[in-house]
Amino acid sequence: MAVAGSAAALQPEGGATHKRLDQPITLEQSDQCIDAIQIAPVIQMTKAGNTLLGPSMSTVMIYSNGLVTMSSVDPRGGGSGAQMLHVDRRDVMDLQADLAEIGAGSICDAQTTVFDVPLTTVSVSRGASDSMTHSYSYWLAEGRQADVESAILDFIMNSSIEK
């Protein structure tokens, strides 16, 4: 019997191996789900990778109900931690509209590779229980990538916190 969390426990019964997926997984959307809780991630921006000073990672998650979470890990000491705040959900909807106007749902991955800065990945969705998400990644923000990053960071810095 395999111990939970061990490599053997991760193997399918009968010793079968996992097949490599040549095609992306298509998730079917259900028209039967009621979005009763009405909290879904609408924006995620993660910066992760190595810099000249060492590895780092930071993530911002913005949810449809106004919850904003920010976390960072800096193994060199100092900057690790997490924060949570609530903003007015209408501000989140305004940010979504701003990002749609910029074209965040159609930005593509960077075509160049940079090795001394963290990779940024941005994911945007409409924020419902059955929602499609668009993600793209880059090392150095240029053009619309920079516009989206700036809009997200400005949103965090300038949002009025609900009391």
Judge whether 74 lies within some domain: yes
Judge whether 29 lies within some domain: no
CA distance linking residue 126 with residue 137, whole number of Å: 19
Judge whether 113 lies within some domain: yes
Cβ atoms of residues 144 and 102 within 8 Å: yes
Judge whether 86 lies within some domain: yes
pLDDT tens digits, 125-154: 976 666 678 999 999 999 999 999 999 999
Strands 133-138 and 54-63: unpaired
Q: How far is CA 6 from the centre of its chain?
A: 28
Radius of gyration of the chain, Cα coordinates, nearest whole angstrom? 19
- CATH number of the domain encompassing residue 66: 3.30.1560.10
Judge whether 10 lies within some domain: no
Judge whether 100 lies within some domain: yes
Q: What pLDDT does residue 31 have?
A: 63
Residue 147 CA: distances (Å) to CA of 3, 27, 35, 78, 152: 48, 30, 31, 29, 9
Q: Is the pTM of this model over 0.85?
A: no
pLDDT tens digits, 65-116: 999 999 998 777 667 889 999 999 999 999 999 999 999 999 999 998 888 8
Number of domain units in the chain: 1
Judge whether 8 lies within some domain: no
Domain that holds residue 100: 38-158
Judge whether 119 lies within some domain: yes
Cβ atoms of residues 150 and 77 within 8 Å: no
